[in-house]
Structures are given as C-alpha cells and as structure tokens.
C-alpha cells in the first residue's frame, strides 16, 4: 500500500463511495479491504505515464480529525472528477449511498453530460444475486467483463485472495487509466456542494425492508404516499425539542444492520407489517384529535410480534401527573396487554433504546417469518432476499 501524502491543490481525481462496516469507530470508518483498494488505486494512478503529478482521490476515512469529515466529504463530492461507487447488495439497497450517487448524477446532468457516462465508474465490489440489481451490476462489470474472476467474484475477493492478485492488478490498472483519461481529457467543473436532502428515484431493493411507521398529529392530506422522502410528515416528526427527527435514529440503527429502511405515515392496513419487521412510533397527542384514537386502534390490527411499538412524548415534568403523562396513559390503554408499548419521555432514553429495539424486532422476524423451510425446492439457509417466482427456488 502507498503511504499517505499531502493532498495536491485542485479537485480530487475521484470520490470513493462505499458502505462502511456495521460497526466502526470514528478514527477508521473504512473496511480494511476498502482502505487497501483505495491506496492501491491511488498508487496505480500515480504510475500512469505522463508529465503531470496525479492528484489523490478522496475517501472519507482519510480525513482527520473526524469532526471535519462531513464537510470535507460534501466538498469532495462537488469537486471530484470521477465518482467511484463500490457496488454490493448493501450499497444498492441503502438510501445514503444511493443518494451520493444520485447527487453526482444530477451534477453531471447540470453540466450537460450523461448521468451514467465516463464520470461515474462503478466497481463490482461484491456480486448481488438479486435480479433488481442486475442493471447496475452489468454497468460495473462492463469495464472488465473479460476478466472472469472479477465478473464472478467482485473486486473485494480479488483484493483479499492471493490467487486473484494478477486479475486484481489488471482491473486496478484499467480503473486507474479510465480515471486519469477522464480527469485530464474531459475535466468536470466543480459545483456547489450539496446542502439539502436529494430525492431518490423510485428503486426497489432486493431485501425485506425494516419499516418505520409514524402516527402523529398533522399528517399530510395524502397519507398513502410513500414516505422516507424529505417532504413527508413521518420524515419530519420531531417529538423532542431541538433534536433531529426520530426516524433518523431508526434509519441509523437499521442501516447498521445492513437492512433497507422504509419510512411511512400510518395508513390503516392490516398487512402493513405482515412481510417485514418494524417499529410503530406514536405521538400520544393524536388521542386528542377527532380521528386519532381510531387510528391508534386501527394500528393494533397491523401488529405482529416482530413490531415494536413506541409511544413518544417529551415530558418536562417527569414523575408528576402532567398533561403529557395523561396523554401517554390514554394512548397506552388502547393496546392490549400482550402488545403493551414502550413509553419514552426523554431523548436520552430514546437514543439508548432504539438500536436494541431494532435488533430485537429483526431477530424476531427472522425466527418467525418466513416459515422455514419454505415450500418448494430446499435451500441451504434462510435469507432476506426478495421472494422468487412460485416455480423457482431461492438462490443462496
């Protein structure tokens, strides 16, 4: 691996977009093999013939101190010549990684360039068995489709295993040459760094999602529209003053478990959680609205043992019979004893419990649904891939 060197002036040659491991620390957020690939790619770029000194690519784990990481990442995304996403099932299922790619695509469109042209160079990091990922995977393979080990195993395996080192260096060289050619021959003008959320085009994921559903006053007039977008009530609900929306914490907990997140405003539907684990988040102030108590009662019909119910209201006078405490009790009484909700009145309690709750609901779902072994051809193990057609088995 190459040693670290100071960044040269001017935009970075490439922006490395990847999914961090489920658990990491702020000092070294990148997977070891992602870090090795990044260093090797920079070394390959430095080794290309020419008179110019090559500029280093950007990866967020190279930013120190960690407090500067978010701002530097925004700037690099707006300045980099080539966007290099490491495609894996996790990458293509996660909103945050897809959002980085979508913002760069929009930058290309504004510059009059094709959104999937030379300035986006996807790398097949871990192959996906899901049909929904096939188009993205085909674009990543095209750059080295003749390198059988790369197309079959992905760059992660080539980086790790000694027997694939020849193929690894071959693909690495092609990536480096593409980046150098693009950066030097058709440079991309810097843009304003992204400041707000970027809407994602509708894209199904290959996995069972974890669903977060919100019942709170002030829901939009069209509650049936898909949520998880920045303009929905569920995505904006802030029961704790001066704190972020609580679905942000749910999203963080879910994506650390490598699951896609689906955020929705509540719509009466007995099948809401039938095919996925989730949490139901309730603002007890809804029981004061004309239809609020009815909505909470309707939610009871959608519950399963893999759905956690949390009633949340900030209480400035805990331990006393405040109005918030009264509303909390009224909302909880609607639920049967077997499905008694978790009552949360402080932000610290919410943050301390949400990761454990998400993990428990996911494990309960895996233990109970889908039934295992499923009908049809036997498979070697259960997994959260999409259901296959009735006449096919599940690839493992």
Report the alpha-carbon distance of residue 162 to residue 164 in Å, rounded: 5
For the chain, the structural domain boundaries read 14-185, 210-368
Higher pLDDT, 67 or 396: 67
Angle between the 246-256 and 95-110 helix axes, to the nearest 10 degrees? 100
pLDDT at 386: 39
Report the alpha-carbon distance of residue 118 to residue 128 in Å, rounded: 23
pTM of the entire structure?
A: 0.56
* Residue 185, CA distances (Å) to 58, 81, 179, 182, 357 in order: 20, 11, 10, 5, 52
Higher pLDDT, 139 or 267: 139
pLDDT at 222: 43
254 in Cβ contact with 358 (< 8 Å)? yes
Residue 238 has pLDDT above 70, yes or no: yes
pLDDT at 373: 41
Do the domains 14-185 and 210-368 sit in the same CATH topology, yes or no? yes
pLDDT at 385: 38
Residue 24 has pLDDT above 60, yes or no: no
Which residue carries 């702020």 as its tokens?
26
pLDDT at 241: 87
pLDDT at 84: 97
Report the alpha-carbon distance of residue 363 to residue 339 in Å, rounded: 17
CATH number of 210-368: 3.40.50
Higher pLDDT, 373 or 175: 175
- Give the CA angle between residues 341, 96, 352 to the nearest 5°: 35
Q: What is the pLDDT of residues 47-103, one digit of tens each?
A: 776 545 567 899 988 887 666 778 888 899 999 999 999 998 888 887 778 888 989
CATH domain 14-185 topology:
Rossmann fold (3.40.50)
> What's the average model confidence in pLDDT over 114-138?
89
249 in Cβ contact with 350 (< 8 Å)? yes
Which residue carries 């009224």 as its tokens?
330
CB neighbourhood size of 366 (10 A): 16
Is residue 120 exposed (0-12), middle (13-18) or buried (19+ Cβ within 10 Å)? buried
Residue 173 has pLDDT above 90, yes or no: yes
- Average confidence score pLDDT of the chain: 79
pLDDT at 371: 45
> What's the average model confidence in pLDDT over 135-151?
93
92 in Cβ contact with 205 (< 8 Å)? yes
Q: What is the pLDDT of residues 343-369, one digit of tens each?
A: 999 999 999 999 999 989 988 887 775
């Amino acid at each position: 691996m190459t040693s670290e060197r100071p960044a040269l002036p001017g935009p970075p040659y490439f922006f490395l977009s990847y999914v961090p491991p489920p658990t990491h620390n702020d000092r070294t957020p990148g997977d070891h093999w992602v870090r090795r690939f990044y260093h090797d790619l920079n070394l390959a770029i430095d080794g290309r013939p020419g008179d110019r000194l090559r500029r280093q690519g950007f990866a967020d784990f190279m930013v120190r101190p960690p407090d500067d990481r978010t701002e530097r990442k925004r700037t690099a995304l707006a300045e980099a010549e080539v966007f290099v996403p490491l495609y894996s099932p996790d990458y293509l299922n996660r909103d945050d990684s897809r959002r980085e790619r979508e913002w760069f695509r929009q930058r290309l469109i504004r510059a009059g360039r094709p959104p999937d042209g030379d300035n986006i160079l996807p790398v097949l990091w871990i192959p996906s068995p899901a049909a929904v990922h096939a188009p993205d995977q085909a674009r990543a393979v095209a750059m080295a489709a003749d390198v059988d080990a790369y197309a079959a195993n992905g760059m992660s395996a080539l980086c790790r295993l000694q027997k694939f080192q020849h193929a690894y260096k071959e693909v690495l060289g092609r990536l480096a040459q593409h980046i150098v050619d693009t950066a030097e021959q058709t440079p991309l003008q810097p843009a304003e760094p992204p400041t707000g959320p970027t809407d994602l085009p509708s894209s199904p994921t290959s996995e069972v999602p974890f669903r977060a559903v919100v019942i709170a006053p002030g829901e939009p007039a069209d509650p049936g529209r898909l949520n998880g977008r920045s303009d929905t009530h569920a995505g904006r609900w802030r029961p704790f003053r001066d704190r972020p929306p609580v679905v942000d914490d749910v999203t963080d907990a879910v994506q650390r478990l490598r699951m896609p997140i689906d955020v929705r405003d509540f719509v009466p539907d007995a099948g809401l959680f039938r095919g996925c684990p989730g949490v139901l988040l309730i603002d007890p102030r809804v029981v004061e609205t004309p239809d609020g108590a009815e909505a909470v009662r309707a939610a009871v019909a959608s519950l399963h043992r893999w759905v956690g119910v949390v009633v949340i209201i900030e209480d400035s006078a805990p331990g006393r019979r405040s109005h918030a405490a009264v509303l909390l009790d009224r909302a909880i009484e609607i639920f049967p004893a077997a499905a008694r909700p978790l009552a949360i009145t402080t932000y610290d309690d919410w943050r301390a419990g949400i990761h454990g709750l998400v993990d428990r609901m996911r494990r309960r779902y895996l233990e109970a649904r889908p039934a295992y072994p499923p009908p049809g051809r036997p498979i070697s193990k259960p997994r959260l891939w999409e259901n296959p057609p009735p006449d096919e088995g599940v690839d493992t």
